[in-house]
Amino acid sequence: MDSIEIKGGVPLKGEVRAGGAKNAVLPMMAAALLTNETCRFTNVPKLRDVDSMCMILRQLGVRAERVQPHTLELEAIDESPCLAPYSLVSQMRASICVLGPLLARRGRARVAMPGGCVIGTRPIDLHLKGLRALGARINIDRGDVIADARKLRGAEIYLGGPHGSTVLGTCNVLSAAVLAEGITTIENAACEPEVEELCRFLKKMGAKISGIGTKRLKIEGVTSLKGAEHSTIPDRIEAATLLVAGAITGGDVFVRKARADHLAAVIDALRQIGVKITEEANGIRVTSNGKFKPMDLTTLPYPGIPTDMQAQLMALLAVADGISVVTERIFPDRFMHIAELGRMRANIRKEGTSAIVIGVKYLSGAPVMASDLRASAALVLAGLVARNTTHISRVYHIDRGYERLERKLARLGARIKRLKT
Ligand code: EPU
């Protein structure tokens, strides 16, 4: 198992490029099940989650090939398999995205229930509610979701739960409704840029969707879809993580491809914390003097502060000059990083769904353990500013969602290396 070693204290300087968005490409890959023609994706990041989705799609009769390092071709050559087994689904929750397309195109699906993970319980009741409204019969048997539908019919669907809209739930229902008979409206649809991107891709395939980017999607079903080509949008979470890396080290970093229109809430938070953010042509520059003001922040559905940036911003606030309150509204239990940051001398206390972050003068490098993707990113950021050496184990979590993070940071001057064991 690889680990990462960081000797902190170097202000990062230079330019780095944000890659394609993991959370945009995964549902689009699943949508390739909606046709037997070839779908081609460019700017696809080389990540473990993308590989896991390829494995699931292969199991479902899809030819999945990286024809170039960042170009992926998918073609459903055998449309009879309908089983996504637990051994593959358990590696990545986003595999639930195949449920809607399978049902719409093949009329049946057996997909293992993804179960919980370290960031919380992560139910799929809204996915199932939406698909049932379209006419699917759904049962849970021996840990699998078993769904079938001779014909899906358009319906009016409200997709909201106790924590607001659902990103992958919207993707799933949308990807089924495109082939349903008649009109579907999804109320309280998630409006994250990744959902918008799926809509754009489905439209290229021939789907009829309006209200893209809003909370009310209207889908007019069509009888078939064709293959399409699409370039993946830049990863807003990777971009924001790199901006925090520049900020926390008191550096000067230009993140090429970072899109300010996707990052308004994060940019606003960084400015409140005292970091200088400048929008430049084709990217965002961060400059910081290494002194940070505390702030209270709350994660919210888009366009609010993304839950996927909560841990990284907490690492930054851990070295701010004062007390901050970080409230998690999407995944109330997503606080595994608190204990590990504590090993690095951070002073953070969990109070219900909030964390009270009492800024400290410095963090101290320590052996720490990555627990999930974004928590691991927070530990890397803390390691970049900590005194002495930080050693992060279980970095396979980072590889799920950041392509060669340590190389990108090393090019900016960080003393960081991957240790192979
Ligand atoms: N929820 C329900 N019922 C459902 C579905 C969701 O109650 O059927 C709840 C969840 O428990 C949560 C809230 O609704 O409280 C929002 O969850 P959502 O469904 O939006 O999350 P997701 O679609 O499973 C995606 C991203 C996550 C990201 C969340 C929120 C992908 C592959 N995953 O998950 O990304 O945190 O949206 O923005 O797109 C990550 O990249 O590290 C990551 C976890």
Predicted local confidence at residue 73, as pLDDT = 98
Q: Which residue has the higher pLDDT, 317 or 117?
A: 317
- What mean pLDDT comes out for the span 185-197? 98
* pLDDT above 90 for 120: no
pLDDT 10s digits, 225-241: 999 999 999 999 999 99
| Mean pLDDT over each residue of the chain, to the nearest integer | 96
* pLDDT above 70 for 116: no
| Residue 97 annotated in active site | no
* pLDDT above 90 for 1: no
- What mean pLDDT comes out for the span 43-54? 96
Q: What span, in angstroms and rounded, lies between the C-alpha atoms of 9 and 22? A: 30
Q: Do the strands 156-158 and 183-187 form a parallel or antiparallel pair, or are they unpaired? A: parallel
pLDDT 10s digits, 340-352: 999 999 999 999 9
* pLDDT above 90 for 201: yes
In degrees rounded to 5, what are phi and psi of residue 300? -150, 165
Question: Residue with the nearest Cα to atom 40 of ligand 1?
Answer: 308
- Percent share of the chain, pLDDT over 70: 100
* pLDDT above 80 for 115: no
Q: Count the Cβ atoms, other than its own, within 10 Å of residue 139.
A: 9
* pLDDT above 80 for 421: no
* pLDDT above 90 for 118: no
Tokens, residue 324: 């901050």
Cα distances (angstroms) measured from residue 76 to each of 30, 168, 174, 202: 11, 22, 20, 16
Tokens, residue 370: 């990555």
CB 38 within 8 A of CB 205: no
* pLDDT above 80 for 117: no
Q: What span, in angstroms and rounded, lies between the C-alpha atoms of 227 and 223? A: 14
CB 325 within 8 A of CB 296: yes
Check 39, 117, 171, 191 and give the catalytic one.
117
Confirm whether pTM is higher than 0.95.
Answer: yes
CB 71 within 8 A of CB 40: yes
Question: Residue with the nearest Cα to atom 33 of ligand 1?
Answer: 23
Sheet holding 3-7, edge to edge: 367-369, 389-393, 3-7, 415-419
**Residues near ligand 1 with C-beta < 6 Å?**
23, 26, 93-94, 120, 122-127, 161, 163, 166-169, 190, 194, 306-308, 330-331, 373-374, 401
Q: What span, in angstroms and rounded, lies between the C-alpha atoms of 231 and 76? A: 20
